[in-house]
């Protein structure tokens, strides 16, 4: 993804702003973008299949600032977040690992969502599943990219 801005449109009097002042404004603008990205990603996840809220509640960003770059990185805190981003092919998933009820694989979901008993899940063995890609991170980033110039302009005019 590329981000380009019309500097003249952002600031007409750069000579009166110190380097630190510019860095602070860029940091503030990037953090505003990160907050919008997080909000948008959570909205997309909330509209797709959210069960327990673990995925939704784990979405966050961290600001990065070093001598050359200022930016942010978006994260989630669940192992299955990548499958919501990119989807999966249709595949067989057991409710229990080798039929052992002490080793649930999909059993908690089967109980909670499908309202199945352990006996019903043991009889079925498992279920075919497929997760459609919802791309919450990418879609949120594209939305924020379209708003970047407006965010930067607002911060630099302060």
pLDDT of residue 109: 85
Contact criterion met (CB below 8 Å) for 59 and 76: yes
Tens digit of pLDDT for each residue in 52-86? 788 999 999 999 888 778 999 999 999 988 988 99
Residues 63 and 95 in one domain: no
Report yes or no on 82 lying in a domain: no
Cα–Cα distance measured from residue 70 to residue 74, given in angstroms and rounded to the nearest whole number:
14
pLDDT of residue 2: 45
Find tokens 């890609």 and name the residue. Answer: 133
Please list the ranges in the chain whose pLDDT falls under 70. Answer: 1-16, 49-51
Residues 67 and 24 in one domain: yes
Residues 68 and 50 in one domain: yes
Q: Where are the beta strands (DSSP E) in 15-77?
A: 60-65, 70-75
Contact criterion met (CB below 8 Å) for 47 and 92: no
Report yes or no on 8 lying in a domain: yes
Number of domains in the chain: 2
Residues 71 and 93 in one domain: no
Cα–Cα distance measured from residue 122 to residue 141, given in angstroms and rounded to the nearest whole number:
42
Report yes or no on 63 lying in a domain: yes
Q: Rounded to a whole number, what is the distance in angstroms from the first to the last CA of the chain?
A: 27
Contact criterion met (CB below 8 Å) for 63 and 24: no
What residues make up the domain containing 16? Answer: 1-77+135-158
Reported pTM: 0.72
pLDDT of residue 77: 92
Cα–Cα distance measured from residue 100 to residue 104, given in angstroms and rounded to the nearest whole number:
8
pLDDT of residue 6: 58
Residue 141's nearest CA partner among 49, 53, 30, 50 is: 30
Residues 39 and 110 in one domain: no
Beta-bridge partners for 94: 126
Residues 27 and 101 in one domain: no
Contact criterion met (CB below 8 Å) for 96 and 110: no
């Amino acid at each position: 993804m590329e981000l380009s801005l019309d500097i003249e449109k952002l600031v007409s009097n750069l000579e009166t702003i110190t380097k630190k002042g510019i860095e602070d404004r860029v940091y503030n603008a990037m953090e505003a973008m990160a907050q919008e990205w997080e909000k948008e990603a959570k909205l997309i996840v909330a509209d797709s299949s959210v069960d327990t809220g673990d995925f939704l509640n784990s979405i966050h960003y961290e600001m990065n600032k070093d001598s050359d770059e200022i930016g942010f990185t978006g994260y989630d805190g669940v192992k299955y977040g990548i499958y919501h981003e990119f989807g999966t092919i249709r595949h067989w998933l057991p409710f229990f690992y080798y039929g052992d009820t002490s080793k649930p694989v999909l059993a908690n979901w089967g109980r909670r969502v499908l309202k199945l008993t352990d006996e019903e899940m043991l009889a079925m063995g498992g279920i075919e599943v497929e997760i459609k890609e919802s791309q919450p991170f990418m879609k949120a980033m594209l939305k924020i990219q379209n708003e970047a110039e407006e965010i930067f302009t607002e911060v630099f005019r302060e």
